[in-house]
Chain A
């Protein structure tokens, strides 16, 4: 029977849209190798991974929200806040490290939960809402820190995260990859993960199918906030300096990575694996900009172009399939 009569071209288009980013990642990597031998050196590669860890970690949580059909623009502000919070709570004392990390994570999750509750219970668009909470959180961060860099990182904190196992792999890079795997497992193997896709694909159908829309929505935003907290800590660990504006603008890199990875603003498709590939493509592109001697801010131009081109390509592919 011909009940399922997808043509070869359609199947190809679908495979393309699902795996495009991984193909792009491989191509970009070969391009990078062609331009610079550095991309063949493990130490350099893991350095790149370490460099991108904060943005990558944040992008995992934002991916959940975007599969759901939402968006989290407050993520940059959450990174700034949790990073400052962590430094201040540590106050240069190793005894405070565990508590500081816990408080930072809790703060991130709390902001995410507030976002989630507001999205679930009101009709404000997630775009406007999280833009608003982002601005508010930025203000809170400034008030909390008095507008200047405050807080001192405990001795050893930075050293542990930047320690290179076997002189090659930094702990921070491992932590990022571990969180990515965790994120992927949650997406693949939990009821929550599947429900994200169901709601993102068709809200009305999900409601009629008896899904608890509010619970899934709140949990998704809470996780986005929590991963934002992890990202804040990772940022602090990477730089070692607390700065009230350190997370500013990172939301755009996060969104760029998520969109590049195939998770669209419409929701219902994409996933964490694509996001990770997306972030790696971005960071390799940034490094190529640097290596080829272009001005640093050229990175922003590259990033903007990538967002537009990626969206256009995915739009084309899904229109055809």
Chain B
């Protein structure tokens, strides 16, 4: 007899995955136990997704084996992984918006009544039991479309749990959540852990990983670098493991822009509430902090000519007042926006890198109505080289690039219009740490050349490292402003969540 407690719930031995021309995973060993939250971290391309896909049964390994409770298992598809108790919640949900929560959770496995109809009463009972057991606060009758993203995620988790999963894989679960929603998710994860489940937590957010995981496995270039207990581990430790060198973000140092030398943009923002003001200067990076829902993106878009009907921005500059009614008009005056959602409204997926990079500057590169392909090719190649783009060929479709390289192409597109104000919304979202540092360096270089840069980011650390000045937004207004070198994370969080700069409320956010 084998003592069950000694056999790990999940054991991976020598797992490898090769694609034509690429080795994505090189013989990874890993063990994880029931009642554990085990994080997987690594830069993009480190092999996290591949490992996750192998465990989820979405792909078959080239070598090595996966053991559950000491038994070797082989999956011939996601369904067979589910049968063996491995459930996966991907970053992108696969819910049917029109269905109720209960129907979504048991989709395809609804209890049937005598005539083959869905037995709604039993469905409701089973749903309620499941939600209560795992303390998921959801209304079983609510239509999925009406739920917040956070609640939709809980529905996905509920569906995963309804398969009696013992191993739950969460892929970047907090990417779409606000701080409060994140707390709720963590409470759910702790509940699952106490029920004896193994949660595999895949994330870019190292701080979260340290907060929620018991152990963390670091991957780099398809290899396992280390598995560590999170107790006593710091973000810097993790970063140096991931990169093989130390230091998370290089700070913006030296060159504090002199308010006198850069040209000044006096911005007035009007929404439902009272108007709010903000100054941008050429040569300066301003970091815009705030919670999800504070209205940062709405402001950033309004500033660059893409306003919702309820918001408007005036820019005072050299005695004139500018107001833009389209991104085209804003661009004509040098105000350019880089989107937070590359896939939805940034890239032209099926078009090549040159077409993507030159999209905005096309008319200025050609002669009248005619294009000048040679010049397009030349300027793209030039700007993308400056941005350290990694691509085998500029005629490759942009969708084949990694997130960081796609972002560089979008920055290149903006730069080809020669902006005076560059608005970057979450410039490093979904970008691996190496590329992050490069993008930061690019933005610093732009500021040095006299561009006014506004960076919106949910990562306060990023803003502290990158910006010269931090502006905090709360409920659609600018509520606090401070030089980045004097700012503290706690100070920003308090302003962002309470709207006041004072430190009266001492409860840590």
A194-B371 CB under 8 A given contacts A3-B401, A3-B405, A209-B360: yes
Across-interface contacts of A320 in B (CB, < 8 A): none
Taking CB as reference atom, which chain B residue is nearest A192?
B369
**Is A211 interfacial (CB-CB < 8 Å)?**
yes
| Interface of B: prevailing SS | loop
Pairwise interchain contact A191-B359, C-beta atoms closer than 8 A: no
Cα A110 to Cα B362 with chains together (Å): 28
Across-interface contacts of B344 in A (CB, < 8 A): 204
Cα A269 to Cα B151 with chains together (Å): 37
Across-interface contacts of A193 in B (CB, < 8 A): 371
Cα A212 to Cα B45 with chains together (Å): 37
Across-interface contacts of B405 in A (CB, < 8 A): 3
Pairwise interchain contact A191-B400, C-beta atoms closer than 8 A: no
**Is B328 interfacial (CB-CB < 8 Å)?**
yes
**Is A183 interfacial (CB-CB < 8 Å)?**
no
Across-interface contacts of A189 in B (CB, < 8 A): 370-371, 373
A7-B19 CB under 8 A given contacts A198-B359, A202-B347, A209-B359: yes
Chain B 345-380 interface mask (CB, 8 Å, partner A; 1/0): 111111100010001101100100111010000000
Total contacts A-B at CB 8 Å = 103
Across-interface contacts of B351 in A (CB, < 8 A): 197-198, 201, 268
A190-B369 CB under 8 A given contacts A7-B19, A212-B328: yes
**Is B227 interfacial (CB-CB < 8 Å)?**
no
Across-interface contacts of B373 in A (CB, < 8 A): 189
**Least Cβ distance of A321 to chain B in Å?**
9
Across-interface contacts of A206 in B (CB, < 8 A): 348, 359
Chain B residues 383 to 428 lying within 8 A of chain A, measured CB to CB, are 390-393, 396-397, 400-402, 405, 413, 417
Across-interface contacts of A210 in B (CB, < 8 A): 326-328, 330-332, 360, 417
Across-interface contacts of B362 in A (CB, < 8 A): 191, 194-195
**Is A2 interfacial (CB-CB < 8 Å)?**
yes
Chain B 20-46 interface mask (CB, 8 Å, partner A; 1/0): 111000000000000000000000010
Cα A2 to Cα B19 with chains together (Å): 11
**Least Cβ distance of B249 to chain A in Å?**
22
Across-interface contacts of B397 in A (CB, < 8 A): 14
**Is B337 interfacial (CB-CB < 8 Å)?**
yes
Taking CB as reference atom, which chain A residue is nearest B353?
A4
Cα A205 to Cα B328 with chains together (Å): 12
Pairwise interchain contact B370-A191, C-beta atoms closer than 8 A: yes
**Is B153 interfacial (CB-CB < 8 Å)?**
no
Chain A residues 145 to 171 lying within 8 A of chain B, measured CB to CB, are none
Pairwise interchain contact B327-A3, C-beta atoms closer than 8 A: no
A2-B345 CB under 8 A given contacts A197-B355, A201-B351: no
Cα A191 to Cα B373 with chains together (Å): 10
Q: Which of B347, B363, B370, B390 contacts A3 (CB 8 A)?
A: B390
Taking CB as reference atom, which chain A residue is nearest B304?
A208
How many A residues are at the interface, by size bracket?
A: 20 to 34
Cα A268 to Cα B348 with chains together (Å): 9
**Is A312 interfacial (CB-CB < 8 Å)?**
no
Across-interface contacts of B22 in A (CB, < 8 A): 2, 5
Give the total of B residues in contact with A, Cβ under 8 Å. 44
Cα A189 to Cα B402 with chains together (Å): 30
Q: Which of A4, A7, A202, A208 contacts B20 (CB 8 A)?
A: A7
**Is A1 interfacial (CB-CB < 8 Å)?**
yes
Cα A4 to Cα B352 with chains together (Å): 12
**Is A297 interfacial (CB-CB < 8 Å)?**
no
Cα A206 to Cα B45 with chains together (Å): 29
Q: Which of B45, B413, B417 contacts A2 (CB 8 A)?
A: B45
**Is A8 interfacial (CB-CB < 8 Å)?**
yes
Pairwise interchain contact A269-B402, C-beta atoms closer than 8 A: no
Taking CB as reference atom, which chain B residue is nearest A185?
B370
Across-interface contacts of B396 in A (CB, < 8 A): 4, 6
Q: Which of B21, B327, B360 contacts A5 (CB 8 A)?
A: B21
Across-interface contacts of A14 in B (CB, < 8 A): 397
Across-interface contacts of A198 in B (CB, < 8 A): 348, 351, 355, 359
**Least Cβ distance of B297 to chain A in Å?**
12
Pairwise interchain contact B369-A191, C-beta atoms closer than 8 A: yes
**Is B339 interfacial (CB-CB < 8 Å)?**
yes
Taking CB as reference atom, which chain B residue is nearest A267?
B350
**Least Cβ distance of A184 to chain B in Å?**
14
A202-B328 CB under 8 A given contacts A4-B391, A190-B370: no
Chain B 147-162 interface mask (CB, 8 Å, partner A; 1/0): 0000000000000000
**Is A9 interfacial (CB-CB < 8 Å)?**
yes
> Which one of A8, A9, A195, A205 has the highest number of Cβ atoms from chain B below 10 Å of its Cβ?
A205
Taking CB as reference atom, which chain A residue is nearest B44?
A3
Given contacts A3-B45, A190-B371, A191-B371, 20 further A-B contacts (CB under 8 A): A2-B22, A5-B22, A8-B20, A14-B397, A194-B355, A195-B362, A197-B348, A198-B348, A198-B359, A202-B345, A202-B348, A205-B347, A205-B348, A206-B359, A208-B327, A208-B337, A209-B359, A209-B413, A210-B327, A268-B350
Residues of B within 8 A of A (CB): 19-22, 45, 306, 326-328, 330-332, 337, 339, 344-351, 355, 359-360, 362-363, 366, 369-371, 373, 390-393, 396-397, 400-402, 405, 413, 417
For the complex of A and B, 8 pairs with smallest distance between CB atoms: A204-B345, A3-B390, A201-B348, A210-B331, A4-B392, A210-B328, A209-B359, A7-B20
Q: Offer 23 A-B interface pairs, CB within 8 angstroms, sorted by A.
A: A3-B401, A4-B401, A5-B21, A6-B396, A7-B21, A189-B371, A191-B369, A191-B370, A195-B362, A197-B348, A198-B348, A202-B347, A202-B349, A205-B345, A205-B348, A207-B326, A208-B337, A209-B413, A211-B328, A211-B359, A268-B348, A268-B350, A268-B351
